[in-house]
């Protein structure tokens, strides 16, 4: 048994001789104990590696948790989207059902319309057939009526032709009577006005109209009396006659026909419309009736120079 002084002496020797410590440890400690520091060191290293691995695992777990959260959120959004899609699909299915029902009703309406249209076409065809028959019957009746009308028109034309011939003869007779009356009146009226007839009144046709003309003299001046004779005379007749006599072209035609002027102008009518007398006074035309001179003529209308053939050429 080692005593305390000896133990202390041994510590002092170990202090003085450090190299003895390793040998002492080898003698005192077992191999397991001697290897313990190395094991502790390796264990520390493993603990450090384990802590590092744990930290890495913890970080990985954190990232995994975050990824799981993101996946869970994505899953939640996906489920919501799926629910929305399912709702949209449900609405689409309902809309398709409604469309199918509407199509069914449309098909039924089209079939009904086609049936009604076919029926209407049938009625129209029948109505057209009856119309065609009525038109053919009307055409036949119209043709018959036109034939009768043409025959009646032919007979009417024949009657009108005969009547026109008779009226023409009567007009010529009445016109001749008017002109004869004008002739007779001039033979009475002119001497009363102091004129001397230099020749018998005669008929003169100018521009298709027949007028009564006669030369007469008064106070050494020779004039030509010109009378337009009508069965019935009106304001318009007198106005037209006055305008014609004042036309140089018409007076040139009179002069070319041997009636050079100056002119004492009258109008004569077997019958006179209201206003004829006023027209005669307005336009300065003498007016003769069966009773004689109703309106005296105005001033003489002068003669005009007749262009010779050279000047006309």
Phi, psi of 264 (to 5 degrees): -105, 110
pLDDT of residue 28: 73
Instruction: Please name which of 277, 171, 185 lies closest in space to residue 230, comparing C-alpha atoms.
Output: 171
Instruction: Please name which of 231, 227, 223 lies closest in space to residue 280, comparing C-alpha atoms.
Output: 227
Residue 96 lies in a domain: no
**Number of domains within the chain:** 1
Residue 247 lies in a domain: yes
Decide if 284 contacts 242 (C-beta within 8 A).
Answer: yes
The pLDDT tens digits along the chain (313 residues) read 656 677 777 778 778 888 777 777 777 776 666 677 777 888 888 888 888 988 988 898 999 889 889 888 988 998 888 888 889 899 988 888 988 898 999 888 888 888 888 888 788 888 888 888 888 888 888 788 777 777 777 765 555 444 433 333 334 433 445 566 777 788 888 888 899 988 888 888 877 666 888 899 999 999 999 998 888 889 999 999 999 999 999 999 999 989 988 999 999 888 888 889 999 999 999 998 878 888 999 899 998 887 664 443 3
Cα Rg, the chain, nearest whole Å: 74
Residue 235 lies in a domain: yes
pLDDT tens digits, 48-65: 888 898 898 889 899 988
Residue 80 lies in a domain: no
Decide if 234 contacts 275 (C-beta within 8 A).
Answer: yes
Residue 141 lies in a domain: no
Characterise 122 by phi-psi region: left (phi > 0), alpha (psi -120 to 50), beta (else).
alpha
Residue 112 lies in a domain: no
Range of the domain at 199: 177-312
- What do you get for the CA distance between the two ends of the chain, in Å? 193
- Residue linked to tokens 């030369």: 215
Q: State the pTM of this model.
A: 0.43
Q: At what angle do helices 19-28 and 4-16 cross, to 10 degrees?
A: 130
Decide if 286 contacts 265 (C-beta within 8 A).
Answer: yes
pLDDT of residue 313: 38
Residue 77 lies in a domain: no
Residue 126 lies in a domain: no
């Amino acid at each position: 048994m080692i005593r305390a002084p000896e133990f202390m002496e041994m510590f002092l020797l170990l202090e003085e001789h450090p190299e003895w410590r390793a040998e002492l440890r080898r003698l005192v400690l077992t191999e397991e104990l001697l290897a313990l520091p190395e094991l502790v060191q390796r264990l520390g290293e493993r603990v450090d590696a384990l802590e590092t691995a744990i930290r890495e695992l913890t970080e990985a777990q954190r990232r995994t948790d975050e990824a799981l959260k993101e996946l869970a959120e994505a899953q939640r959004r996906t489920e919501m989207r799926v629910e929305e899609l399912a709702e949209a699909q449900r609405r689409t299915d309902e809309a398709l059902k409604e469309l199918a029902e509407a199509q069914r009703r449309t098909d039924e309406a089209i079939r009904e319309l086609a049936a009604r249209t076919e029926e209407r076409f049938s009625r129209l065809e029948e109505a057209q057939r009856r119309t065609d028959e009525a038109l053919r019957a009307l055409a036949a009746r119209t043709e018959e009526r036109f034939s009768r009308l043409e025959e009646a028109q032919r007979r009417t034309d024949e009657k009108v032709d005969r009547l026109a011939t008779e009226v023409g003869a009567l007009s010529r007779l009445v016109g001749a009577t008017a002109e004869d009356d004008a002739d007779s009146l001039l033979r009475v009226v002119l001497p009363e006005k102091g004129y001397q007839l230099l020749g018998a009144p005669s008929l003169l046709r100018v521009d298709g109209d027949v007028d009564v003309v006669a030369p007469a003299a008064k106070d050494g001046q020779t004039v030509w009396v010109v009378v337009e004779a009508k069965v019935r005379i009106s304001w318009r007749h007198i106005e037209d006659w006055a305008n014609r006599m004042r036309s140089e072209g018409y007076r040139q035609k009179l002069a070319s026909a041997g009636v050079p002027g100056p002119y004492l102008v009258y109008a004569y009518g077997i019958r006179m419309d209201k206003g004829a007398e006023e027209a005669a006074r307005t336009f300065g035309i003498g007016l003769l009736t069966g009773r004689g001179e109703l309106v005296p003529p105005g001033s003489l209308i002068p003669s005009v120079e007749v262009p010779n053939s050279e000047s006309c050429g």
